[in-house]
Amino acid sequence: MNGDDQDNWPEQVDGGTDGYVDHSRKQSVRRLERALLAAEQHSGSCTAGKLAELFVIARDFGMELDQALRSRLVNALKYLYVVGDPAGDAEPLAGRPSDDVITLIEELDDPDNDPDPIRSRIMTAQVYSRVDGRVTERGEVLKEAYTLCPTSPERVEVGIILAQFQVDTGCNRRAKRILTECGRLVGADDSGARLLPELAVCRGGLLFAQGRLRGAQRCFSEALSAMDRLSRSRHERPGVKAYHYLGKIHALYGRYERAVENLVRAEELLEQRAVDDRRQSGHNHSRLGEVLNKAGSPDARWHSSKARDLFIQAGDESSGRGLQEGASGGPAEPIKHRIQRYELRQQVARNNQHWRSAVIASFRLMLIHGRHGTLWTVVGHAWRALEAGTRLVLRSGPLASTAGVVELAMASVVRTARKRRMARLKTPLRCHCLQCRSKISAETRRTSPFNP
């Protein structure tokens, strides 16, 4: 037995059962303090589930919870749930189905009495972003945080987060109003200039969601230029997102080689960051797999498999399952797996009110069932696509939606022409990331006639 566990038995403690309970309470509080300190130091040795279980044990032994400890505990739980392993942490604690991590966070959370009520609400919104179907609660706490912001830089920072949430849920007109106010505040206060890259990336995301690809491309390029002017390293989050979206835009125009260059650059910058962002890395690898697959590259399957593993490690089970069973999007993918993948995307998008993704998933399902399914199934998915599209248009605005559709249609024409030209080329596009370069080098050595 170690020093913490050698006094667990009642007969070894003076005072009998009462002494044992008092000793156990002190011991459980010490364990909770050590876990809480490890979480605050970001040591990686504690998860949200472990911290929650230690708190429940200490509470059962009669631990007193003051406001300072409550704030520390709930903020540590939020942080660990967001950056840790939500897949395991979201499971109910052993024998206590009502004491799962989300329920415990909601029970302990008291943002009005927190030392930093704005930060507390933003962390709560981040927690809700990891929980399927909690989009309404996420929006409410973000609006509360935005209303509480007293100073210009802080209001701009929270406004960008709120605007991105509005973009995600298709409320593009609200997002545009918030970003307009943020731009005015940045122009009036020099202290907000450091947020120009984040502001440009959010504007680019709004234009991209509307289908206005050329305007979005200008915004993402402006974000990278602003980072250089401010002497900020491009491996920070705005730089990674800018390269990621530039890769997506090039892919929509059929410029697959430039798309791969930007996506690989995003992944390289992400690896330079101190924070382990597996979810963002999973999105990069997933997009690389799709682009390489469309270009007929043999490297597509490795990136899709890597994305699946990263999503599962990050606790994003829905995205991970969507990329399982060889679901690389290629022509060799079984129809059953392709239907399951898009049905999962459709369900997740509708649960979280991501209407643009719901339209795309429903439209793809309609096309697949049009070739391999029944008429009624096609009609059902067409109705879902029409419903999601109507919600998207009403939230985005008819004029902006129409302009975006026209620009996307033009990009589709350009992409089709480029694909036809690429089909005449005998050399397939290869990915130049470090892993793929190593794989290509190994293949070259194995097939070389000079290999002994």
Q: Are residues 298 and 376 in the same domain?
A: no
Torsion over CA: 343, 346, 351, 352 (sign): positive
The letter for the amino acid at 244 is H
Q: Tell me if 246 is assigned to some domain.
A: no
Got the DSSP string for 118-143?
Answer: HHHHHHHHHHHHTSTT-HHHHHHHHH
Q: Are residues 16 and 84 in the same domain?
A: yes
Q: Are residues 1 and 106 in the same domain?
A: yes
Q: Tell me if 173 is assigned to some domain.
A: no
Q: Are residues 299 and 367 in the same domain?
A: no
Helix, strand and coil content of the chain, in percent to the nearest 5, comes to: 75, 0, 25
Q: Tell me if 146 is assigned to some domain.
A: no
Q: Could you list the pLDDT tens digit for every one of the 452 residues in the chain? A: 444 444 444 445 455 566 667 778 788 888 888 888 888 887 767 888 888 888 888 888 788 878 888 888 888 888 888 875 433 333 333 333 334 788 888 888 888 888 889 999 999 998 888 787 788 899 999 999 999 987 778 899 999 999 999 988 888 889 999 999 999 888 777 777 888 999 999 999 999 988 889 999 999 999 999 999 888 888 788 999 999 999 999 999 999 999 999 999 999 888 877 666 777 888 888 888 888 888 888 888 888 888 888 877 766 555 544 454 434 444 445 677 778 878 887 887 887 777 777 888 888 888 888 887 778 888 888 888 888 878 877 777 777 767 777 787 788 888 888 877 777 666 778 888 888 877 766 655 555 444 44
Boundary (domain end) residue, out of 59, 85, 111 = 111
Max Cα–Cα distance, the chain, nearest Å? 87
Q: Are residues 309 and 389 in the same domain?
A: no
Q: Are residues 106 and 3 in the same domain?
A: yes
φ and ψ at residue 47, rounded to 5 degrees = -115, 165
pLDDT tens for 83-103 read: 754 333 333 333 333 347 888
Boundary (domain end) residue, out of 45, 76, 111 = 111
Give the pLDDT of residue 175.
92
pLDDT tens for 296-349 read: 888 888 888 888 888 777 665 555 444 544 344 444 456 777 788 788 878 878
Q: Are residues 301 and 381 in the same domain?
A: no
Q: Are residues 6 and 94 in the same domain?
A: yes
Q: Tell me if 266 is assigned to some domain.
A: yes
Q: Tell me if 195 is assigned to some domain.
A: no
Q: Are residues 373 and 314 in the same domain?
A: no
Distances (CA, A) of 151 to 159, 323, 424: 12, 43, 58
> In whole angstroms, what is the distance from residue 376 CA to residue 384 CA?
12
Structural domain for 53, as ranges: 1-111
| 119 burial via Cβ count (<10 Å: 0-12, 13-18, 19+) | middle
Count of domains forming the chain: 3
Give the pLDDT of residue 98.
32
pTM: 0.77
Q: What is the CA radius of gyration of the chain?
A: 25
